[in-house]
Chains A and B, each alone.
Chain A
Amino acid sequence: MSRGGLIRAVVLLISLLVSGALLELGAWALVEMGAIKAPAPTHGGAGFWDSDHEVFGVWHRPRVSFRHVGPCFDATYETNSVGARDVERRAWSAGRRVIVLGDSVVEGWGLPAAKRLTNLLEAKTGVEHLNLGMSHFGPWQEYLAYREIGKGFSHTAVLVLILPANDFFDLDPELAAQAPWYQYRHRPYLVGTYPDYRSRYFKESLPARTLRRYSYAYNAIGRAWAGNGDHLWERLALADPVLIHSFFYDFTEGQFDRLRYALQKIVAEAEGRRVAVGLVPTYRDLVRYLESGESPLSRRLADLAEKSSFLSVDLLALMHDARPDWERYYFECDQHWNALGNEVAARYLREALSSYFYDRGAPPETGTR
């Protein structure tokens, strides 16, 4: 290369670097000021939620403390040695114990541990409730967490809480493929048709992951390109011209099949221990219940429970009928249960499970681990 060509190449490189740096600087300022709604890079993923977990896709880092501040809550989360948001538990216990699986609702989003469902159940029943709840989990990840972590602890029963508002979404690889704005979509999915599924991990390419972790500009441009998913929800909302959209009512056979399969795998993995599955409503679901009455999902889950030997608990109907001001169950700033929501749900679950889990439930596990 001639000397002139070399100089031109160097100048081009420098100008590209400077442009890139300016773009990054501008994106940093806009994201941090809140002018652009895009996730900030995690700089290697040192956060509370590890979004590169090799088995589940996302899991907590073990033995960390994290202060979660939202627009209407401020709570500190602490994880134990297996990465669960729970106190340290012994591997073996002579008494009855319940493993609780679920997503952010079980994890206790926005609340101190003492006010969440599992702690309330434990305090009222005296039975240990091992919380394996994880934000962003779907039922398939819950099964994997049970198999990989839960089975390492002696227990007599398993409680699974399903949040239809996003669990069908979390199970659906086609929806995930259309949701580049959702940073926790890289995880295992069920691919195939019932009952011949195989678990396929939807991996993010290394360059994309690196840029997502370290670059404001990449995240900002990615969000601008993909939008915030409104188009997806709008499409779902058009399922009926009058009624409000709710996954208790508006789900496809394929989505239900995946849920069915994940629950049946949990029941099989429980190896004869008692399993109960609760359906958790959001505010929209309660509104839809007012409009449409008993939900097809509740009916289908009850049928499945009968065939697959587990107990189904429909919190939709129970929480709808408990009081008219359902908005009081939820945080003002998002769709998660607040302390009251957890309290009401714990009361109904305890009633529903009293003879199944607590009073005359399966005998305590024997043997040593």
Chain B
Amino acid sequence: MTALASDWRAAPPSYRAALVAGAGLLTASLLVGFAYTLFGGPRPRGITADPLAMARELLKEGQVARAGQEYEVAARLNPGDFRTHAEHARTLLRAGRRPEAIAAWGEALLLDPRDAEAWASLGEVCLEMGRYPQATLAFTRALDLRPDQAAVHNSLGIAYKLVGRYDEAVREFMLAVRVRPVPGLVANLRRAKADQAHAGRPGRP
């Protein structure tokens, strides 16, 4: 410590001034940077913003329709990127553009057919649109890839129930409550069993 102090005293004044100025500049720029990050406004997007980044930014701001347009551009620019197509599909669904969302999920699944979440999402859109056979296929595929998803078993149960396949519906609701025994899923099982009984099925295994 003493040696360091004596070295400092022995150094030429210009050297000492440069060292102090350098440390001061470094500290000041750090402080300004932090202050800008904390209190500055939104970062400028730039003239040639990446459409994917732009879409995400717009989505954060709640501008779903415009985000959809940007995702469309991004998907054209990155046709081989699964995530872009998946985000595009979700945004289209949020915008209520279900047929386009199905197409976007299709594009995504061509790139990665082993994504269980994408199959489940495709199934949900099909279910909402009343395309039950397609929904059933998509949910089944999702469950082949990841069998422990209570929500997907539940959705598949709903799809089966809506086409009158009560035995299969009951089985899927059972699988759903086996993973997650919560009142909502149990209520679906109870209703499906009532429908099954009403349809003259044997009931309990």
Q: Which residue from B171, B175, B178, B189 sits with its C-beta under 8 Å from A290?
A: B189
Interface membership of B92, Cβ < 8 A: no
Q: Which residue from B174, B183, B187 sits with its C-beta under 8 Å from A291?
A: B174
Chain B residues whose CB sits within 8 angstroms of the CB of A242 once the complex forms: 171, 174-175, 178, 205
**What's the Cα separation between A290 and B174 when bound, in Å?**
10
Interface membership of B177, Cβ < 8 A: yes
Q: Are B178 and A244 in contact (CB under 8 A)?
A: yes
Q: Are A290 and B181 in contact (CB under 8 A)?
A: no
Q: Which residue of A lies closest to B171 (CB)?
A: A242
Q: Contacts A243-B174, A244-B177, A244-B178 given; indicate if A290 touches B186 (C-beta within 8 A).
A: yes
Chain A residues whose CB sits within 8 angstroms of the CB of B186 once the complex forms: 287, 290, 326-327
Chain A residues whose CB sits within 8 angstroms of the CB of B43 once the complex forms: none
CB distance from A292 to the nearest CB of B (A): 5
CB distance from A238 to the nearest CB of B (A): 10
Interface membership of B193, Cβ < 8 A: yes
Chain B residues whose CB sits within 8 angstroms of the CB of A326 once the complex forms: 186
**What's the Cα separation between A244 and B204 when bound, in Å?**
13
Q: Are B205 and A243 in contact (CB under 8 A)?
A: yes
Q: Are A244 and B190 in contact (CB under 8 A)?
A: no
Q: Which residue of B lies closest to A324 (CB)?
A: B190
**What's the Cα separation between A243 and B190 when bound, in Å?**
14
Q: Are B183 and A327 in contact (CB under 8 A)?
A: yes
Q: Are B189 and A291 in contact (CB under 8 A)?
A: yes
Interface membership of A20, Cβ < 8 A: no
Residue of A242, A283, A284, A292 with most partner-chain B CB within 10 A: A242
Q: Are A243 and B183 in contact (CB under 8 A)?
A: no
Q: Which residue of A lies closest to B173 (CB)?
A: A291
Chain B residues whose CB sits within 8 angstroms of the CB of A284 once the complex forms: 181
Q: Which 6 A-B pairs have the closest CB atoms?
A: A293-B204, A327-B183, A244-B178, A242-B174, A287-B181, A292-B204
Besides A287-B177, A324-B187, 4 more A-B contacts (Cβ < 8 Å) are A290-B193, A292-B205, A293-B204, A327-B183
